[in-house]
Amino acid sequence: MNVALAQLDFHIGHFEQNTAKMLDAIHQAQLGGAELIVFPELCITGYPPRDFLEFADFLERVQQAVQQVAKACTSIHALVGAPSVNPQLCGKNLFNSAYLLGEGKVKHVIHKTLLPTYDVFDEYRYFEPNKAFECVEVNGKKIAVVICEDSWDIADDPMYTVHPLDELIKENPEYIINLSASPFSHTQHRKRVEMMRWNTKKYRCPMVYVNHVGAQTELIFDGGSMVFNAGGDCCELLPFFKEEVRIVNMQQLKANHPVNEPEAVSLIHDALVLGIRDYFQKLGFKNAILGLSGGIDSAVTCVLAVEALGKENVWGVMMPSPFSSQHSIGDAVQLAKNLGIRYNIVSISEFYQSFLQGLQPLFEGRPFDVTEENIQARCRAVTLMALSNKFGHVLLNTSNKSEAAVGYGTLYGDMCGGLSVLGDVYKTQVYELAHYINRNWEVIPVHTIVKPPSAELRENQKDTDSLPEYDILDKILFQYIEMRKGPAELKQMGFEAAIVDRVLKMVNMNEYKRHQTPPILRVSDKAFGMGRRMPIVAKYLQ
């Protein structure tokens, strides 16, 4: 059997575009001699549709789109992901389903059994789990169809009480096909390979895995669709971060593809570029603006924006204050020239002095402190938002994950923006990205990379005046945020007790700030935002 893997970029709720892409892929697969084309999970709606699933009109358009795609499947079959109505009076109103289309109609509907409700997933909010297991037939070939999580419960301590493939394998299918919506993290490819190898070896059955590509606000889908043979060997691997329709002869699966995990920094780079591009294109935006401080965070953000949007669509604004160094201004200007982007220098000194003068009667007798530092950050935010409003540019936030974690940022100042590009990238990873960007030539001025990081909001300020060294801070943050290690465990790992207590207190006390940040492009296993749900008002570690 020739099976086409349709790894495509779908747009949530854009039924016309989604169906047009699917129809084009079906035509392409037919010309290539495919008997079956497989699309990703919930491809009709885009993933995740969230509370759109509560609108009757939305669900009606889902069914119209399914029927439209079905009519094109006359000489080919298709597996299409979409919600379906639960006919039972009890339980949730919908299933997360895979539709088998052929002969111009819906021939079978398979429902998802395991509904993830953790991290970024919230499927049990909307869907009823499947309880009946049956393989489907396509041109005489019996196929076990599963949907994403249905083949992921492979741990020694399983999360669920049933494994769908344990039931489906009883019918002796010739192939397993998985329709997936697996978001990107820089460790996810390794986990997918492990999942594919575990299933194909256990069930001695070839497996097709088709994933989304493209970004849906915070979530980035990297593609990486695969085919494994019954011996657990990777025979086909589709590209990361690119659309492709590939036809695979399931009778000739040879272990001819390496599955070595690509370098993490290159994956993160490509994911962020795709995340920016899709955020802008799907919302109908074109131009971006950002503050260029001469620091590494804004430099890396600017380069990524140029790669995603084109140099003609990125505007950098330098906003020196009385504490800005000439080196920083020069580095920012040099970066803008290297990239060929528009840039302007708008001094905030007069704005800042005006605020100080107006507040002087209230501040009289009080020393300079973080208040005056924050006023500078907010002057910059007002400047950027004014330009954003006047010229219709989307403001990109340049704060990194380390800063966001410990609250080293100013609300309504440097934390503002329409999209946070580096909010899931630790400071040490930002340096790795900068070196990766400069791998062929010096895009980011070397002085930007080697100088000690500073917010430059007071004389001779350094980040280390307020924070531990980033190589120590980031290790603690990673263990606490991603690995969920508590203070006792961190101290047992060798981290200094006083630093652990200080860092964890900062993380927990600044939850209120993170609830007011822009959407953050997710590139790790545990990003701030939809996948990390912490109470704002709590006493733990404070």
Catalytic residues: 41, 112, 148
Residues in CB range of 142: below 8 A, 6 or more apart: 135, 136, 171, 172, 173, 174
- Whether residue 147 contacts residue 112, with contact meaning beta carbons closer than 8 Å, is answered with yes
Q: What is the full DSSP assignment across 420-440? A: ESSTTS-HHHHHHHHHHHTTS
Q: What is the full DSSP assignment across 180-201? A: ---B--TTHHHHHHHHHHHHHH
- Whether residue 26 contacts residue 32, with contact meaning beta carbons closer than 8 Å, is answered with no
Residues in CB range of 352: below 8 A, 6 or more apart: 321, 322, 375, 376, 379
**Residue 127 pairs with which residues in a beta bridge?**
94
Question: E strands along 103-225, which residues?
Answer: 105-111, 136-138, 141-147, 175-179, 207-210, 213-216, 219-222
Tell me if the bond preceding 48 is cis, omega within 30° of 0: yes
How is residue 134 written in tokens? 């049956």
Long-range CB contacts for residues 462-470, cutoff 8 Å, separation at least 24 = 463/408, 466/408, 467/402, 467/406, 467/408, 468/499, 468/502, 468/503, 470/402, 470/426, 470/427, 470/428
- Cβ-in-10-Å burial (0-12, 13-18, 19+) of 388 comes to buried
Q: What is the full DSSP assignment across 307-320? A: HHH-GGGEEEEE--
Return d(Cα 55, Cα 57) in angstroms, integer.
5
- Cβ-in-10-Å burial (0-12, 13-18, 19+) of 502 comes to middle
Return d(Cα 135, Cα 115) in angstroms, integer.
19
Amino acid (one-letter) located at 505: K
Query: Among 298, 324, 316, which Cα is nearest to 376's?
Result: 324
39: phi then psi, degrees, rounded to nearest 5: -105, 165
- Whether residue 173 contacts residue 136, with contact meaning beta carbons closer than 8 Å, is answered with no
- Whether residue 423 contacts residue 397, with contact meaning beta carbons closer than 8 Å, is answered with yes
CA 294 to chain centre: 27
CA distances from 509 to 409, 533, 537 (A): 13, 14, 9
Q: What is the DSSP letter of 238?
A: P
Crossing angle (nearest 10°) for helices 427-437 and 470-481? 110
- Whether residue 9 contacts residue 282, with contact meaning beta carbons closer than 8 Å, is answered with no
